[in-house]
Amino acid sequence: MPSNAIQAAVAALQNNEIVAMPTETVYGLAGNAYSEVAVQKIFALKNRPHYNPLIVHIKSAHYLQQVAKNIPVVAIQLADAFWPGPLTLVLEKQDHIPDLVTGGKNTVGVRVPGHPIALELLEALDFPLAAPSANPFGSISPTTAKHVADYFTGTLDIILDGGSCDKGIESTIVGFENGEPILYRQGSTKTEDIEKITGVLKMRVHANNESVVAPGMLSKHYAPSTTTILTDDITSDIQKYSDKRIGVLQLSPTTLPSFVIAVETLSQTGNLEEAAKNLYAAMHRLDHQNLDLIIAQKMPAVGMGLAINDKLERAATK
Length of the chain: 318
Residues of this chain, 55-74, that bind ligand TXA according to CB under 6 A: 55
Contacting ligand TXA (CB under 6 A), which of 109, 128, 168, 181? 109
- What minimum distance in Å lies between the beta carbon of 137 and Mg ion? 8
Residues in the interface with Mg ion (CB under 5 A) total: 1
Residue 174: CB minimum distance to ligand TXA, A: 10
Question: Of the candidates 32, 35, 107, 143, which one interacts with ligand TXA according to CB under 6 A?
Answer: 107
Residue nearest to ligand TXA (CB): 216
Instruction: Pick the piece of the chain touching Mg ion (CB under 5 A) from 14-22, 127-135, 239-247, 288-296.
Output: 127-135
Nearest to 57 by CA among 78, 84, 82: 84
Q: Which of 32, 102, 144, 226 binds ligand TXA (CB under 6 A)?
A: 102
Which span (107-115, 256-264, 266-274, 284-292) binds ligand TXA, by CB under 6 A?
107-115
- Name which of 88 and 133 has its Cβ closer to Mg ion: 133
First to last CA, the chain: 49
Stretch that binds Mg ion, among 79-87, 129-137, 245-253, 255-263 (CB under 5 A): 129-137
Residue 25 is a binding residue for Mg ion (CB under 5 A) = no
Considering the complex, state which of residue 72 and residue 270 has its C-beta at the smaller distance from ligand TXA.
72
What is the SS3 string spanning the chain?
CCCHHHHHHHHHHHCCCCEEECCCCCCEEEEECCCHHHHHHHHHHHCCCCCCCCEEECCCHHHHHHHEECCCHHHHHHHHHHCCCCEEEEEEECCCCCHHHHCCCCEEEEECCCCHHHHHHHHHCCCCEECCECCCCCECCCCCHHHHHHHHCCCCCEECCCCCCCCCCCCEEEEEECCEEEEEECCCCCHHHHHHHHCCCEECCCCCCCCCCCHHHCCCCCECCCCEEEECCHHHHHHHCCCCCEEEEECCCCCCCCCEEEEEECCCCCCHHHHHHHHHHHHHHHHCCCCCEEEEECCCCCCHHHHHHHHHHHHHCC
Q: Site map for ligand TXA, 6-35, x if CB under 6 A?
A: -----------------x-xx-x-------
Using the minimum distance from each CB to Mg ion, give the nearer residue, 107 or 133: 133
Q: Which residue is nearest to Mg ion (CB)?
A: 133
Maximum alpha-carbon separation in the chain: 60
Burial-class residue 51 by CB neighbours within 10 Å (0-12, 13-18, 19+). exposed
Question: CA–CA distance from 285 to each of 195, 243, 266, 279, 313 (Å)?
Answer: 35, 21, 12, 10, 18
Part in contact with ligand TXA (CB under 6 A); list of ranges 65-73, 99-107, 197-205, 305-313: 99-107
| Given 35, 88, 133, 265, the residue binding Mg ion (CB under 5 A) | 133
- Selected from 181, 216, 224, 247, the binder of ligand TXA by CB under 6 A is 216
Instruction: Output 165 or 238, the one with its CB closest to Mg ion.
Output: 165
Residue closer to ligand TXA by CB (options 82, 184) is 184
Residue 102 touches which member of Mg ion, ligand TXA, none, C-beta under 5-8 Å by kind: ligand TXA
Residues forming contacts to Mg ion in the complex (CB under 5 A) are 133
Residues forming contacts to ligand TXA in the complex (CB under 6 A) are 23, 25-26, 28, 52-55, 86, 88, 90, 102, 105, 107-109, 113, 131-133, 170-171, 173, 184-185, 213-216
